[in-house]
Structures are given as C-alpha cells and as structure tokens.
Amino acid sequence: MGAHVRLAVFDLDGTITRHDTLAPYALGFVVRKRPWRLAALLFVLPAVLGHALGLTDRGALKSAFIRAALGGCHRKDLERWTAKFVDRLVAQGLLARAVATIGEHARSGDHLVLLSASTDLYVPAIARALGFQEVICTGLSWDGERLRGTLTTPNRRGEEKARCVTALRARYPGLESFAYGNAASDIAHLRLVDRGALINGSAAARRAARREGLTCADWQ
C-alpha cells in the first residue's frame, strides 16, 4: 500500500444505513416468498426470553431468528432476494453523509473495510455496491444449498469488533486509522483507532464516547 493510504473501518446498521438491516431483509423475504412461515417466528420467543433474562447472548438470538425465518431456504432464492434488497437499500436506505464520507476515503485511496454484526447473506453484496475492499461480518452455516442459519463466526459486535479492529491494525501496521460506528457497543473498537467517530449516537452513547475522546457527529 502507498505511503498515504489510510485504514477506514465502517459499521453498517445505523452508520451507513438509516435503519437496521437484518429484520427487513429476513421479513421482506418471508412476506414476499414464504408468507406461511410467519407463524414459525413464534418459535423465536424462547430465545427472546432467554436473551431478556441474560441466559443467551445476541448471537444466539440472531441465529434463532434467522433459522425460524429463513432456515432451509435455497441459496439461489436468497441470492435473488439479496440482489433486490441491496438495490433498494442503496437507492433509498443510506445516509447521504455516510455515502459522501465513503467516497472521500475512496478518492484518497484509503483501504475501506465494512465491519458489521449483520450477516454474510447480504453484507458482502452491500460492500461491493459501495466500493469496500474488505468485509468482516457474521457468518452463517449451510447444508449444501440450503441455509441452516447457525453462526459460523462470533457475532461481530462489541468486544468482537474490537478484536477484529486490533487484527486489522496488525495486518496494516503504520496506517493512520479511522472508524465510524453508531452504538454504545461500538465504542469498544472506535477507541482503538487514531480517529474514531460515533455517528447519530444516543445521549448515553455520546457521553461515553466523549469520555474516550471520540468525535460525535450527526449524519443525515
């Protein structure tokens, strides 16, 4: 990499996109292609309760939701839905300031990394559409061409994101580093870079970010 290349790491949901992406992706597919599976979402309730009681983590909840909504679906069907979902998201669901900031980094020749807790059903497609060179997201398992839906990686959130950023900085030593995230849980990795920015954070997240010396910004 050139001497002036920098490392720029972006979160996805709420940082680049206006809203979270997993529920719209999964429910959009079910409503359009498998409406009879809506009743199966009731099987997620035990996982919701377990998470509320602190018995299971977000990764287990995410897997339960995906297995109920999309488990057993064919890869080709999901790929076709992903293409439509990403086209619509890029056209209507992105924050203009996020797109502009990605473009600024791209024009500077920076190494762009999309780091998201969302899944590899669609995050790599979003990364390609927006010009990212690298993507790190939560992986899902398959039985041949049918989605199983259990996680094949840790849920890329909180301290796991921090671990990923530490590994990125080790792979790209000496590069000035930027990171953008929107949630209090993102502070764990934002504080590990040279220039971390909390985007559209809650009041509590902003207070925590400022204690860490992070920039807070509002993107529309």
Distance, CA of 128 to CA of 187 (rounded, Å): 26
Domain extents for the chain?
Answer: 7-217
For residue range 21-79, what is the model confidence (pLDDT) as tens digits? 999 999 999 999 888 888 777 777 776 777 677 767 888 899 999 999 999 999 999 99
Tell me if 129 sits within 8 A of 106, measured CB to CB: no
> Does the pLDDT at position 126 exceed 70?
yes
Please tell me the distance from the alpha carbon of residue 121 to that of residue 101, in angstroms, as a whole number.
25
The full DSSP string for 101-140 is HHHHHHHTT-EEEEEEEEETTTHHHHHHHHT-SEEEEE-E
Q: Are 121 and 140 in contact (CB under 8 A)?
A: yes
Q: Which tens digits make up the pLDDT trace of 149-207?
A: 999 999 999 999 999 999 999 999 999 999 999 999 999 999 999 999 999 999 999 99
Residues 6+ apart with CB under 8 A from 208: 184, 187
pLDDT for the residue 48 = 74
Is it the case that residue 3 has pLDDT exceeding 80?
Answer: no
pLDDT at 137 over 70: yes
Whether 8 contacts 113, CB under 8 Å? yes
Provide the CB-side half-sphere exposure for 149 (13 A, CA).
18
What mean pLDDT is predicted for residues 95-107? 98
How many Cα atoms occupy the beta-carbon half-sphere of 99 within 13 Å? 14
What is the mean predicted confidence (pLDDT) over 107-127? 98
Q: Mean pLDDT across the chain, nearest whole number?
A: 94
Q: How far is CA 42 from CA 45, 48, 65, 67, 69, in A?
A: 6, 10, 10, 12, 10
**CA–CA separation, 164 and 75 (whole Å):** 27
Strand partners, 217: 199
**For 4-22, what is the mean pLDDT?**
96
Confidence (pLDDT) at 86: 98
Cα 47 to Cα 202: distance, rounded to the nearest angstrom:
26
- Strand segments, DSSP code E, in the chain are 7-10, 111-119, 134-138, 140-143, 146-151, 177-181, 195-199, 215-217
CATH topology of domain 7-217: Rossmann fold (3.40.50)
Residue 2 pLDDT > 70: no
- In this predicted structure, the answer to whether residue 17 has a pLDDT above a threshold of 80 is yes
What per-residue confidence (pLDDT) applies to 73? Answer: 96
Q: pTM here? A: 0.93
